[in-house]
Structures are given as structure tokens and as C-alpha cells.
């Protein structure tokens, strides 16, 4: 996975050619497909969120947005997926950034019931990767680690 802004941008570029396949770990390893759909730039601090398609990826205007690199909204399933791409051996989830985002989505009248917080990590980090959490969140949520093979431009 590429570092910083290049990693985040490559994450979004991967959707231009189709869906993105990730590996989910747990009791049984499985693949998960994240859908190809429109990508809209947005300011997470503003209440004015881009018009919502049935499915939409939101890309923060700042490449180094605190807390996350991407947000996926699925209107039908009332899902908000918050994504952080990292190549480190560990990562700290800072819930205060998620709370601001979710509060602004609620203020903009977006109805969601499921919040899925995902760390996307290179597959070679699977054995030793650790995460921690800072702060608390009043929204019900799940935290998942997903692994992706090498991101190679091409």
C-alpha cells in the first residue's frame, strides 16, 4: 500500500475500473466486495454533504483528514462505512473524528442505522497488526480489520 496521500488516492482510483475485493478475517476468512460507485469530494466539517446516490463514496477534501480516508454510504441498507487505509503495524482509531462526521450526516438528514469502521491493511501485516481505540462513540458501530493484497498501479 502506498503511503499518505498516494495511498488514499490509489484506494479511490481502484474503484474506477470496478469493485474492490478485500479479505475479512475472523473465525473464517472470506472475501468482501466493496462496490464501484460514484466518488464525491466533501468537507467533513460542513453539514452540506453531496447529494446522495443510492451508493456513494465520499472523499474528504483534505488528504490528511483526521481519523479516516474514505466514507461509503449505502442508502438502501442505511450503512455508513468509515475507512482508514494504513500500512503501519498498528493504528489508533480516534472516535472524535467519526462522531463529528456522523453528527453532520444526521444534521443533513441522512438516515443510517449501521456504522462500520474499517481499517484496510496490507495482507502481509495480518499476523502482527494491532489496533487501539481512543475516546468513545455514542453511535452503535462495529470495528473491522480488512486485508488487501498489494496495491500495484496498472
pLDDT of residue 154: 36
**Region label for 47, one of left (φ > 0), alpha (ψ between -120 and 50) or beta (otherwise):** alpha
**Residue-level pLDDT at 78:** 92
6 pLDDT band, cuts 50/70/90, is low
As a whole-number percent, the residues of the chain with pLDDT over 70 amount to 78
Answering whether pTM is above 0.85, one says no
Could you please report the per-residue DSSP string of 37-78? --EEEE-TTSS-PPPP-SEEEEEESSTT-TT-SEEEEETTTT
* Spatial contact of 120 and 23, defined as CB atoms under 8 Å apart: no
Pairing between β-strand 90-94 and β-strand 20-24 as defined by DSSP bridges: unpaired
pLDDT score recorded for residue 116: 92
Confidence of residue 153 (pLDDT cuts 50, 70, 90): very low
The predicted-structure confidence for 131-145, as pLDDT tens digits, reads as follows 888 888 888 888 888
Cell matching residue 118: 474499517
Q: Quick check: 10 pLDDT over 70?
A: no
pLDDT-above-90 percentage for the chain: 15
Instruction: Tell me the pLDDT of the chain averaged across its residues.
Output: 79
Of 88, 98, 94, residue with least CA distance to 130 = 88
DSSP codes, 67-133: T-SEEEEETTTTEEEEEEE--SSEEEEEHHHHHHHHHHHHHTT----EEEEEEEEEGGGTTT-EEEE
Say whether pLDDT at 48 is over 50. yes
Greater pLDDT, 153 or 63: 63
Q: What is the pLDDT of residues 75-120, one digit of tens each?
A: 889 999 999 888 788 889 999 999 989 988 888 888 899 999 988 8
Q: Are the beta carbons of 131 and 143 closer than 8 angstroms?
A: yes
DSSP type of residue 14: G
**d(C-alpha 82, C-alpha 42), whole Å:** 14
| Burial call 16-31: b when 16+ CB within 10 Å, e when fewer | eeeebebbeeeeeeee
Residue 3 has pLDDT above 70, yes or no: no
Amino acid at each position: 500500500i502506498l503511503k499518505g496521500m498516494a495511498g488514499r488516492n490509489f484506494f479511490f482510483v481502484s474503484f474506477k475500473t470496478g469493485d474492490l475485493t478485500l479479505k475479512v478475517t475472523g473465525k473464517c476468512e472470506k472475501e468482501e466486495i466493496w462496490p464501484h460507485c460514484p466518488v464525491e469530494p466533501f468537507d467533513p466539517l460542513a453539514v452540506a454533504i453531496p447529494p446522495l446516490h443510492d451508493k456513494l463514496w465520499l472523499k474528504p477534501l483534505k488528504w490528511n483528514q483526521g481519523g479516516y480516508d474514505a466514507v461509503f454510504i449505502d442508502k438502501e441498507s442505511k450503512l455508513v462505512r468509515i475507512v482508514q487505509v494504513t500500512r503501519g503495524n498498528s493504528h489508533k482509531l480516534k472516535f472524535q473524528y467519526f462522531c463529528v462526521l456522523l453528527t453532520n450526516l444526521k444534521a443533513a438528514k441522512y438516515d443510517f442505522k449501521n456504522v462500520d469502521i474499517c481499517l484496510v491493511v496490507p495482507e502481509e501485516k495480518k499476523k502482527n497488526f494491532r489496533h487501539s481505540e481512543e475516546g468513545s462513540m455514542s453511535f452503535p458501530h462495529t470495528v473491522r480489520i480488512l486485508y488487501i493484497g498489494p496495491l500495484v498501479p496498472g
